[in-house]
Structure 1
Amino acid sequence: MNIKNLDRNSNENIRQYAYRVLKENIMNLNLEPGEAIGENELSKLLNVSRTPLREAIVQLIEDKLLDVFPQRGTFVSKINLNLVEEAIFLRELCEKELFKIACNDENAKDLIIELEKNIEYQKIIINFNEDLHNFFDLDNEFHTIIFKKYNKLNTWKAIKKLSTHYDRLRLIDALEKTNLENTLKQHMEIIEKIKSKNIEKIDKLIEKHLLNFKDVIEIYQKKYPTYFDI
């Protein structure tokens, strides 16, 4: 198993530590969709006892990130396109309304500054060919900034909880460099729509932005056939 970032945070108990490390490695694709997870090996790697490890595994099963098959074992869940569609549905509903709020906000200057700062970091990663995991993180941060601005962080957390399959697919898309330029361009367009208060065009732009990967999903399914729950 390819598990990274094993350092434990000072404020974590053992279950929280095991859960965070496993989830991060699943979401970063270090633990690949469909990969078998052995409790004995994990217990040794993380240096934790079986009880808190099993509690973490139960939580990851509830998150739909692990699947247990009787007589076979525990596996990282494959990407389920139905769950991807559910996440898109919720994000689209919430983000369209939130961006409309931003367009109507007469005091959106601070928001625009934060978003533009985020954009500059995105440009650096693309221009200097840096780690695309960082680009993916900045993409998430771009949206987090807006939810935070309008006191909707709990809504964003709920969206992220439902988006574990969608986010892994988005990460594949980022690492494949298929839509990097499109994503950056659309982020810049979103800022321009907020500046110009162009509510009429924000819906279509958000819809397009959330579905960047859709035209190439079959390519990913062929390239990574073991990653998808078909």
Structure 2
Amino acid sequence: MEEKNYKSRGEMVGETLKQEILDLRLKPGQMISENDVCDRFGVSRTPVREALRLLQEQGFVETVPYRGTYVTLLSLDNIKQMIYMRVAVETMVLRDFIAVQSPMVMEDIRHQIAKQQALIQEKDFEPEQFYRMDAKMHSIWFTAVRRQKLWEMLQAQQLHYTRFRMLDFITETDFTRIIGEHKELFGLIEARDERGVEASLKEHLYYSMKRMRKSIEVDYKDYFEEEPEEGRFVI
């Protein structure tokens, strides 16, 4: 019974820390102190060590002997490949969606865009709120053509891509631009303009990498693994 209790506490601690890593409340390269985690959750070292062990197996933290446990850095190469894959997959999904779009599903997309617009009018909205709304909107066309598994697989790439997307939203100051891109994409889908949709989606998904070039090289350099010279910003 005691072992089961430890395990459940370890899972609870691990899930909380994992979400904080994904939301960048625990930043890439940041040290995680066992003592601080024990004090914070009111648990002994056993469940905390279990939580950190599971996070290390999943790649979210790494333990450096005699130094401590640190949140893993972001891999720019991994992120660029994920964007490439997402563009390829989502383009195919939208082609299928254009052929089967229905008024009800289109209204759902319009409603999601309206919710995004309402959110940014709030004074103290959190970037992760917009991130989740953005993900919800994109998931609609995957669901409509029964490709939910593909969407789940894309969303499961949390270690690097999800954290990069969160960094994107945290550093973004023009959410109106993003909503404008969503409206443009919606209009092209509604018009069944396949070429226009593909071009708009590609620009939409790659824009954050272009916008954040200086931030990645200067402001958030310590968040990223060292990248080979020849691979820098090839997208």
- TM-score (norm. length: structure 1): 0.84
Alpha-carbon distance, 1:149 to partner: 2.6
- Equivalent residue of 2:142, what SS? helix
Q: Is the 8 A contact 1:126 1:180 kept in 2?
A: yes
Q: What's the counterpart of residue 23 of structure 2?
A: 28
Match for 1:108 among 102, 105, 112? 102
Q: Give the whole-Å Cα distance in 2 for the aligned partners of 1:31 and 1:108.
A: 42
User: Percent of aligned pairs with the same residue?
Assistant: 24
Flag structure 2 segments of 5+ consecutive residues without an equivalent. Answer: 1-6, 227-235
The aligned counterpart of 1:195 is 190
- Check 1:93–1:59 CA distance in 2 against 1; reply closer, same or farther (3 A cut): farther
Runs (5+) with no aligned partner, structure 1: 1-11
SS at match of 2:29: coil
In structure 1, the residue matched to 2:72 is 77
Asked if the contact 2:97/2:144 (under 8 Å) is kept, the reply is no
Residue of structure 1 equivalent to 2:122: 128
CA contact (8 A) 1:80 1:229 kept: yes
Task: Report the equivalent of 2:212.
Answer: 217
**Structure 1 residues 64, 109: closer, same or farther in 2, change over 3 A?**
farther
Q: 1:52 to 1:98 in 2, by over 3 A?
A: farther
Q: Is the alpha carbon distance of 1:74 and 1:181 closer, same or farther for their aligned partners in structure 2, counting shifts above 3 Å?
A: same
User: CA 1:120–1:86 in 2, change beyond 3 Å: closer, same or farther?
Assistant: same
The separation in 2 between residues aligned to 1:165 and 1:20, in whole angstroms, is: 17
Corresponding position: 1:228 with 2:224:
yes
Q: Which amino acid aligns with 2:222?
A: T
How many Å separate the matches in 2 of 1:114 and 1:219? 36
Match runs of 1:1-230 below 5 Å: 13-105=8-100, 107-131=101-125, 132-221=127-216, 222-230=218-226
| Bigger Rg, structure 1 or 2 | 2
Contact 1:103/1:199 (<8 A) preserved: yes
TM superposition shift of 1:184: 1.0
User: What code does the residue aligned with 2:105 have?
Assistant: L
State the alpha-carbon separation in 1 of the partners of residues 213 and 154 from structure 2: 25
| 1:58-91, Cα deviation, whole Å (9 max, x unpaired) | 3323433212223322111122101211221221
2: CA distance between counterparts of 1:168 and 1:179? 19
Equivalent pairs, count: 218
Distance 1:212 1:63, change over 3 A: farther
| TM-superposed deviation, 1:178 | 4.0
**TM-score normalised by structure 2 residue count:** 0.82
1-side partners of 2:140 and 2:155: how far apart?
A: 14
